[in-house]
Structure 1
Amino acid sequence: MRRCTAALAAALLLLTPGAAQAAPQRQTYTNPVSASFADTFADPMVVRGDDGFWYAYGTTDPLREGEKVAHLIPTARSSDLVSWTYVGDAFAAGQRPAFAADNAAYWAPDVRRMGDKWVMYVTVTETRDGPGRSAIGAATAPSPAGPWTFADEPVVAPRPSGDGGWLWTFDPAQLTTPDGTRYLYYGSYFGGIWVSELSPDGLHVTGAATRVAIDNKFEGAYVVRRDGWYYLFASSANCCAGPTTGYSVSVGRSRDPRGPFTDRDGLRLDVSRAGGTPVVAPNGNKWVGTGHNGLVTDLAGQDWLAYHAIDRADPYLDEPFGINERPMLLDRLDWIGGWPTVRAGAWASSRPVAAPVTRTPLQDTFETLSQWRVADGHWTVADGRLRGHGTLLARSPQRADLRAEVDLRGPAGLRIGATTVRVSPGALLVGSHRVALPAGFDAAAWHHLTVDVRDGRLTATLDDTVSGATRVPRGAHVVGLTASAAAELDNVSVGPLAEPVRRAAAVPEPGRVLAAYSDEFTGSALDPAWTFVRPDPAATVSGGALRWPVQNADLTGASNNAGVLLRDAPDGRWIAETKLTLALGEDSVRNYQQAGLIAYAGDDEFARLSAVAIWNTRQVEFGHEIPYAGATSYGGTIVGAPGLTTTWLRLAHRVDEVNGEHEYRAGISRDGRTWTWGGVWTLPADSHPRIGLIAHGGAEPAVTAAFDYLRFRRW
């Protein structure tokens, strides 16, 4: 299926299938993977094309520092997922749908194959309805390289908010379920994330929309189906705060594509105290702002997360506080205990790591039949496609645990030993099992079939939607291709199945209590070891707790009028913990009342972990402020949801052995026993941070924070 546009043909000459087949398997790579063609490539989406190569699409921005010209959905191409070549923009200057305003930009592309066409969904930032009225548009193409033609009508039209404003209709993500129903997820902070059913051609939403994630917390939806669950990936916090960008990805799952989605702790994503199990967050290395993801699977069946991030040493494309420089990263996505996490919880990589598998022992794009022997029937190859009927068998057996993939059109499939998996009229046949295909299934269009064999169990999946399973004999397998008349096949790969990572990365574990640094608040006054920055006489000790009315003050930006209660921290590795009671209510707007822990090197240099009211939501935010470019930079990463009134908070400290920075990782619990660990912020090596407590952000309605203790433990 070698199809490309004339406009891209010259750029693709050096990336022919023959060259890709001959290239050696890359062993390691280093992020960012977009460095070869772009300094920034935000909101990335990666798909495998008809030609066996991978295509990446990014949001509208200049690609290089100093360029100053925005690319309208820049597109890159790769044979190995880590070495990319820019091949052009999806849209020419001035190319826009009829409903788009002249100043519209295109954000967050989502590209999917639907039969013999490709559909790209994009955010159209401005429409002819008026300023701020965004929509979701769609364009179609015969191949992932284009040419792309906009549909004149929006898939999702601008949506009024009901109070005179307009909801943010951003960040589309398409999903097809096993019964053939198509859905589109969309939305952002102002309005939340919604899902609507799509028309069969994928170009219009139909019926009522359902909100699946709360406003003021989530955007950047991406949904995949695994083991009967639908997983909603979503990003939180500010995408673009330069060196303090805390943008991160979390996930919830549901048995129904319309939700409700819940996290590992059973918390829903569509309520005021919204949950979300962390997938990737800043981890203390060079990368911050790790968010807005897509997902791609390599030829060994290993999932990978494509996402953008910000190098905190080079956070802007050009001038400070301008366009944030967000290159594309790629990292292994592991599924541990039914939940996805990047690199088993180690998160973004900044050093060389093992590359995706994009070369397999048996791999064919059909220039010849040299890798096969004809068992029966008649077969020919022409134009890079295999045509015929009967059975072809590989010349050598494959390992017991394997993954096989093929693109096919018509009644065709794979044979694993004596077991046949093939598309037939109305069904996917998996050995003796018959799995019904969705109504309207077009057998004459191209489809993608994968077969995984592990420990004697064969699982077949067609187009990432329809699946079936059977048992096969253990041991090595002779793999074959099977087809009836008028079938075509392409892009065959067979190789070892990836061994899943089952053990999560270690998290901080508290040891013995450091009593000399801790305080149980058992007296009637503060211990002398405490000192106040801007003393607040309203903070008192009684009944075994520090009680502190939340101040109408803050520390961010130029405010610097809030009190900070501090004490010295021990040397080395330790965990500071407090039990906080703070009644912030539900749903109502109480900006930005908060209380919690702080690592404080100064009014403009701190990391603050607090339960906080952010508009209608209640979140635990790990905020960070530093001096930058003659001003200050503040951002936060979301760790999770606070308890109804009581939340346990932890800061785990270590010193980076290479650069001497102080690293602080945030942890939260709603019961004092089960902990979720979130992102990392750093303070400079030459600073001397103290640890303390804060209660500020707004005085109305009056609320008092109660701290039961501050304990330090060795880690």
Structure 2
Amino acid sequence: MINLRQLLIIAVAAASMISFALLPVAAAPPSGPASAAASTYRNAVSDAFSDTFADPSVIQGKDGWWYAFATADPLYEGQPSGAMHIARTKDWSHWDYRGTVFDDDNRPSYAEPDAGLWAPDIRYIDGRYVLYFTVTDTTLNDGGDPGVGVATADSPEGPWQPTDEPIIAPRERDDGSFLGTIDPAGFTDVDGQNYLYFGGYNGGFWGTKISSDGLTTESGDYTQVTATDRYEGGYVVRHDGWYYFMGSSANCCAGPATGYTVYTGRSRSPLGPFTDAEDRSLTDPYVGGTNLIRQNGNRWIGTGHHAIMTDAAGRDFIVYHAIDRKNPWLNQPFGVNRRPMLIDRIDWIDGWPRARAGAGPSVTAQPAPVTGSGLGITADDPAAGGLRGLRGGPQDPQAGATARLTGSARTVQQAAADSVLFTADLDSVTDRTSVRFGSTGNRVTVSVDPDRSELVVRVDTGDQTRIGRDRLVGALSDRTGWQRLTVRVEGRNVQAWLSESGLADPGAEVRLTADDLDLPIAPVQFTGAALIDNLTIRPVAAQATELVPTPERGALISSDEFTGDDLADWSWVRPEASSAEVTDGRLSWPVQDGDLSDPDNRGAVLLHKPLAEPDADWMVETRLDLDLGEDEVRNFQQAGLVAYRSDTDFARLDKVAIAGTRATEFGRLLVGSGDGRTAWGAAIEATPSRGSTWLRLAHHRNAAGEHQFRSAVSTDGEQWTWGAVWTFSDGTVPRIGLVTQGGSEPATTAAFDYVRFYSASWPG
């Protein structure tokens, strides 16, 4: 993908126990290539089989393996691009590469020979696997016309058969250019309705209803769910009754200056409107978004274009790509960005998904997703042990070894825990099939009833009975293919889902609350008639309840309140390009034409004198007023703070107009890692105010001697949202400055109320 600013300019212009409660955080995986697999992993998880594995999408196949799909980059230095890649794992630490989705024999007929096949999204719909993907250039028009393709297979490894035409055709503007019809993501709602989301910076993200087999749109009506120029790499999940749209923002691929970041909004409807934790809309020109993951100052930058998986303990993980800031290129000098696949846990805090409770990408060993089952059950061969009364079933073409339930079965070991997560794939459900936890008077029973086409949850506590039902529709009602039953009992909450893909996209859902429910729940019992596979029973993983600490402001070191008429503590870079003046207790500075990120059009910089102890932890703060209008294109008018070492080595935190949207952008420009290339990229930060916006940069020197700056934004001067970290090499501490730049038309003026320096504490 190209630089976001370039793209926007183009757009504008053209997871066996003794006691169930004592199960380890991560147990040995089911049978697979690594029988003694570790219970931890280290990022990047794709290192064993590739140098890059971008835009990952994941699914647990009906054979028990987790499959990951990636965009069509070369796997290694010097190799040609593959037509989207496939790898698989049982434990998320050990991987097998399985080849490509397409080759010369099955490449989509409507894709131009040199078209990129990007951004796969994998689902299981109507008894088969469905893969959505981007075709960057089709044969349907003269060129530059991206669309969304779709292919099907009986196995995640293929063979894959594309349909004869895109599911979302290229969308042409009145001027003959084409909207960004890219980055698809599927979803199934609790009423069984399938959806497809697609889009990017060039036109916004959109959603539409699609057919029960997932292969065609229903009406051609598309609903815009994000602002035109903010998000790509979208993904949708359902959690606790909310729909969450998650999207990546800023530039995916600027080498060592890549600031890709994932934000989310939620809605009570799958088509929105989506709003963030501050109730800001994702379609507003001042675009909303609550951060899910962003770079934190370690080796990983450009964290984005993700998928979500849930392990056997109910822990959600974000699966994404990132860039090693010291090894950013696949090929030198001017090659493909090296974007390996990473995973990190998600904590749901106050209703919002946060990667490692806000800590961001990991570099140290982390607990792996929990795979396999407790209670002596072999997840992908449940008849092998752990259950009395369950016998071997037929060998299934998709699932392999299965177990057959006819009548009743129960776990051999007793479950002793205050929570339980049960998952099982079901097929050939010919009679009401139930899983039951607990004993008489304190029991949870979840049933799939094929005759009534219902998912039923019954909670019996003492003399009270509560019952919840949801209708099974579409493939769930037709009992076409494997279906995943998930039951979660935690505290007083009982939830049950029936899904095809098992990707937080339930086709049926029942939620009950029972204040008098008394766990532990022992034993686990089954009744009915069905085939069963991929059976896991685990305690529910604990969630963090608070975000990790952020930098804290200390005592005031110095300040400039702009009460005088001079700038004694300041000096200019290119003073001839500035018309700033101090009036009425403010520094007023008309936005200038020059821009530091453009080597041919350098703007003025107003630099503060160095601090007395520049190597210490400190932060700088300013209050900024800058009218950027509402909807019109004003690329790229901006103003704010800059940590400046030189014209080719700075980090800039600005309120900025980007096409029709308004943002705060923490940009980085530097000479790339050893290749002599100057790179520009940015992280999009918290939403600015239409009025005053407060900006902070916190400085820290890490153990390697590098200088790190973390951004923060506030709309009231009290509540701060901390953002990304940019790192400078060891050496002179960058000086703090002010900038206005990006275009003088229409005329607008930035007003800085003050610049204050404080001591600071940097967590960790």
Tell me the residue number matched to 1:241: 254
**RMSD of aligned alpha carbons:** 1.8
Asked if the contact 1:235/1:247 (under 8 Å) is kept, the reply is yes
Structure 1 SS opposite 2:555: coil
Identity among equivalent positions (%) equals 44
**Distance in structure 1 (CA, Å) of the matches to 2:74 and 2:677:** 25
**Distance in structure 1 (CA, Å) of the matches to 2:326 and 2:195:** 39
Asked if the contact 2:37/2:93 (under 8 Å) is kept, the reply is no
Tell me the residue number matched to 1:391: 408
Match of 1:535 among 560, 565, 575: 575
Tell me the residue number matched to 2:226: 213
| 1:266-299 per-position Cα deviation (integer Å, ceiling 9, x unaligned) | 1111121111111111111111111101000010
**Distance in structure 2 (CA, Å) of the matches to 1:111 and 1:695:** 45
Tell me the residue number matched to 2:469: 435
Asked if the contact 2:409/2:527 (under 8 Å) is kept, the reply is no
CA displacement at 1:469 relative to structure 2: 3.3
Structure 2 SS opposite 1:391: strand
Residue type at the aligned position of 1:427: E
Asked if the contact 2:30/2:371 (under 8 Å) is kept, the reply is no
| 1:460-505 per-position Cα deviation (integer Å, ceiling 9, x unaligned) | 11114122234484233234353434x2111111112101111101
Q: Aligned pair in 2 of structure 1 residues 401, 643: CA closer, same or farther (>3 Å)?
A: same
Match of 2:298 among 261, 285, 289: 285
Q: Aligned pair in 2 of structure 1 residues 205, 479: CA closer, same or farther (>3 Å)?
A: farther
Tell me the residue number matched to 2:493: 457
The alignment status of 1:310 with 2:314, answered yes or no, reads no
CA displacement at 1:22 relative to structure 2: 8.5
Asked if the contact 2:52/2:330 (under 8 Å) is kept, the reply is yes
Normalising by structure 1, report the TM-score: 0.94
Match of 2:101 among 79, 87, 90: 90
Tell me the residue number matched to 1:467: 509
CA displacement at 1:336 relative to structure 2: 0.6
Q: Aligned pair in 2 of structure 1 residues 96, 110: CA closer, same or farther (>3 Å)?
A: same
Q: Aligned pair in 2 of structure 1 residues 214, 325: CA closer, same or farther (>3 Å)?
A: same
Tell me the residue number matched to 1:662: 707
Normalising by structure 2, report the TM-score: 0.88
| 1:377-429 per-position Cα deviation (integer Å, ceiling 9, x unaligned) | x8444432111322211111122212111111214242212432121021012
Query: Which runs of no fewer than 5 residues in structure 1 stay unpaired?
Result: 1-16
Structure 2 SS opposite 1:77: strand
Structure 2 SS opposite 1:577: strand
Q: Aligned pair in 2 of structure 1 residues 436, 211: CA closer, same or farther (>3 Å)?
A: same
Asked if the contact 1:107/1:124 (under 8 Å) is kept, the reply is yes
Q: Aligned pair in 2 of structure 1 residues 566, 268: CA closer, same or farther (>3 Å)?
A: same
**Distance in structure 1 (CA, Å) of the matches to 2:469 and 2:33:** 34
CA displacement at 1:631 relative to structure 2: 3.2
| 1:293-347 per-position Cα deviation (integer Å, ceiling 9, x unaligned) | 1000010000000000011111111123321110000011111111111111110
Q: Aligned pair in 2 of structure 1 residues 379, 483: CA closer, same or farther (>3 Å)?
A: farther
CA displacement at 1:106 relative to structure 2: 1.1
Instruction: Give aligned pairs, total.
Output: 691
Tell me the residue number matched to 1:589: 633
Structure 2 SS opposite 1:20: coil
Tell me the residue number matched to 1:579: 623
Structure 1 SS opposite 2:272: coil
Residue type at the aligned position of 1:370: G
CA displacement at 1:523 relative to structure 2: 1.2
**Distance in structure 2 (CA, Å) of the matches to 1:295 and 1:138:** 20
Query: Which runs of no fewer than 5 residues in structure 2 stay unpaired?
Result: 1-28, 396-400, 459-465, 500-504
Identify the range of structure 1 (488-497 vs 640-649) with the bigger mean alpha-carbon deviation: 640-649
**Distance in structure 1 (CA, Å) of the matches to 2:589 and 2:289:** 29
Tell me the residue number matched to 2:535: 492
**Distance in structure 1 (CA, Å) of the matches to 2:183 and 2:735:** 40
Any residues of structure 2 matched to 1:28-427 within 5 Å, and which? 28-67=40-79, 69-129=80-140, 130-207=142-219, 208-362=221-375, 363-364=377-378, 365-366=380-381, 368-374=383-389, 379-383=391-395, 384-398=401-415, 399-409=417-427, 410=429, 411-417=432-438, 418-425=443-450, 426-427=453-454
Structure 1 SS opposite 2:575: coil
CA displacement at 1:18 relative to structure 2: 6.7
The alignment status of 1:524 with 2:524, answered yes or no, reads no
Q: Greater relative contact order (Cα 8 A, min sep 6): structure 1 or 2?
A: 2
| 1:500-539 per-position Cα deviation (integer Å, ceiling 9, x unaligned) | 1111011122122113xx111111222x221111125621
Asked if the contact 1:367/1:382 (under 8 Å) is kept, the reply is no
Residue type at the aligned position of 1:73: M
Residue type at the aligned position of 1:66: G
**Distance in structure 2 (CA, Å) of the matches to 1:175 and 1:368:** 32
Structure 1 SS opposite 2:83: coil
Tell me the residue number matched to 1:599: 643
Residue type at the aligned position of 1:461: W
Asked if the contact 1:391/1:480 (under 8 Å) is kept, the reply is no
Tell me the residue number matched to 2:553: 510
| 1:70-107 per-position Cα deviation (integer Å, ceiling 9, x unaligned) | 11111001001232110111112242233222222211
Tell me the residue number matched to 1:704: 749
**Distance in structure 2 (CA, Å) of the matches to 1:461 and 1:386:** 21
